[in-house]
Amino acid sequence: MAVAVLGDRGCGKTVFLSLLYETQVTYTNETKGDFRFISSPGYVNTMGKIVNGLRMGNWPEATLKGLLAKYWFLFGYRKMFPPNKYDAVKFTIYDIAGEDVNIIDELIAPYQEEGMGGIVYEDLPDGLRTLLDCNVLVFLIDASRINAEVRSEEYESMMAYDTFMATLISIVAEYRSKKAGELKDKSKLYPVFLMTKFDMVDRKIFEGLRIPPKYPSADRKSVKKRKAYAEKIMESFYRQTLALKYGGKLMNVDFDKAGYFFSQIRSEMDEDGENAPRIVSEKGTSHIDYSYKEYRGFIEYFREIARQMPDAVKDEQEFSV
């Protein structure tokens, strides 16, 4: 199964992938073998170094323009019967630099000027088209851009970001709708919306929306509450993104059953007065202070996707590694 990670520049893709790796390590050790994973050497080496850097107070560098990172990892979930056997699911995950996604603006411009209605998808970078072909799409929504000060530069930046994400969703809907004929029953989309940098949302935002700053827990009983919570925020600040998400169904590209998750990594001032990832110590160990339960829920959500997705689709989307 191929998983695409889509988002604008600086939205937290690299931190998201590194914290996902950290969760895989921690969750494996916590469950005493009920959950296991193995990964490509490149993924282990790259993400391991980033996590080590976070522990030392260093934020990762942005993904370089033109770099399409391709990793794979294998999840194993212990079966009830027979004992010591595992349901194994292999994932191929793609991450592309935000600058490459932003080429969308350059491609749309000439069609707008000449009165043409769509994008020639052959003109898209190979990496971006590879992402659009994936059945599992993770849209990263940068919560740090949320701002309620109308006509401020920050508010203008947020509106521009909303337009970009809405355009991206529209492109996904149009692209997959056009390919539905050749894909037939294999075109079903499994979308996930993940709000990054959630720790940077001003508390006044929650007060204005009359919602708690803490999102509902990541369990099956809270699925509807989590969706309502996330869409309450999007309805006020990412209105276009939410509207286009709803509209995908008109093109038989259904975003309605998307999963919702929240990523946050708490920070503190280091000795030099710089903002750095917060490290907490408990039970004789130290770890990065981040939304671990959200990432654990994210891993379990993928198990559900794997159960739903036809084997033929999973097999066809296992790109060579």
Domain residue spans of the chain: 2-10+96-316
- Position 283 scores a pLDDT of 76
- Position 311 scores a pLDDT of 62
d(CA 2, CA 308) in angstroms, rounded, equals 14
Strands of the sheet with 86-96, listed across from one edge: 35-39, 68-78, 86-96, 2-6, 136-142, 190-196, 259-262
- Residues 186, 179 contacting (CB under 8 angstroms): no
Count how many Cα atoms sit within 13 Å of the Cα of residue 58 in the half-sphere of its side chain: 9
Question: Collapsing DSSP states into helix, strand and coil, what is residue 87?
Answer: strand
* Mean pLDDT of the 239-251 span: 95
- pLDDT band of residue 318 (cuts 50, 70, 90) is very low
Residue 262 token pair: 């929240």
Examine the pLDDT at 122 and tell me if it is beyond 70: yes
* Mean pLDDT of the 276-297 span: 91
- Whose CA is closest to 14, among 72, 97, 129? 97
pLDDT in tens, 60-86: 887 656 666 788 888 888 887 877 788
- Say what percent of the chain tops pLDDT 90: 47
- pLDDT band of residue 319 (cuts 50, 70, 90) is very low
What is the reported pTM? Answer: 0.88
